[in-house]
Amino acid sequence: MIITLDEVKTILQIDVDTNDSLINMFIPLVEQDIVDYCKNDFIDEEFDFFSSNDITFVNSDNSINLTNISTKKIVANDSIRVYKSFRNNQVFTVSSVSTNKIIINSIDTIQDEDESETVYITKVKYPIPLKFVAAKMINYQLTTNTDEFTPGMKSEKIDDYTITLEDTIQGYPLSYMVALQRYRHLFKKDLFSSLKVIL
């Protein structure tokens, strides 16, 4: 994942646990917003992706299963992206790895899926500066999900006091999204846009 709960709270200087569940819910949502806006899956190009039609996904233990999957050089806290599955095409955070099984962090949910067509799995590597942007985006979600905020409102006047809100892109302030420009691509950058994979 781009950022952990502890990192969000450290950056935003939050020292209470009141919104922990909400922050955990916003982490993958903000992560997907960043990926979509940047048109960039942030694939770790130094990692050799792997693929198989024997990969299965099990909801009961939140796992990805494949014989000898432990040899694929994936470790706890890695972010991995699944491609070409029926129900599990997304980024997951690894909790643990055993010989034939990757257990996914509880922040992400695996959907049951039996072996089928060839599924591709690769590692994701997010640039460290994205943590600061993600934390701001999460904070924005926390503050805009209150009764005091009116979606779409450009300004508000109370007596002689006027508040003017910043323009938004994808529902976030323009200044946040400008910080993502250096990671943005004109065309989608994913595993299959790389020369590594020829379908």
At 107 the pLDDT is 86
| CA neighbours closer than 13 Å in the CB half-sphere of residue 177 | 15
Lowest mean pLDDT among 46-55, 90-99, 155-164: 155-164
| Residue of higher predicted confidence among 115 and 83 | 83
At 198 the pLDDT is 47
Residue 15 has a CB neighbour count (10 Å cut-off) of 7
At 175 the pLDDT is 86
At 146 the pLDDT is 55
At 171 the pLDDT is 79
Please provide the average confidence, as pLDDT, over all residues in the chain. 88
- Contact yes or no for 106/162 (Cβ under 8 A): no
- Using alpha carbons, list the distances in angstroms from residue 122 to 46, 73, 81, 149: 10, 10, 6, 40
Task: Identify which of 180, 192, 198 has the alpha carbon closest to the alpha carbon of residue 43.
Answer: 192
Buried b (16+ CB within 10 A) or exposed e, 18-45: ebeeebbebbbebbebbbebbebbbbbe
At 154 the pLDDT is 55
DSSP SS3 for 131: helix
Report whether pLDDT(196) > 80. no
Give me the helices (H) in the chain, please: 5-11, 20-38, 130-144, 174-178
- Contact yes or no for 32/115 (Cβ under 8 A): no
**18-71 residue pLDDT tens:** 999 999 999 999 999 999 999 999 999 999 999 999 999 999 999 999 999 999
At 24 the pLDDT is 93
Beta strands in the chain (DSSP E): 50-52, 56-58, 63-65, 79-83, 91-98, 101-104, 119-124, 155-158, 161-164, 168-169, 172-173
Greatest Cα pair distance, the chain, in angstroms, is 68
Rounded CA separation 50/58 (Å): 19
Amino acid in position 61: D
What tokens appear for 104 in the block? 């996914």
Lowest mean pLDDT among 61-65, 172-176, 195-199: 195-199
**117-145 residue pLDDT tens:** 899 999 999 999 999 999 999 999 998 86
At 165 the pLDDT is 57
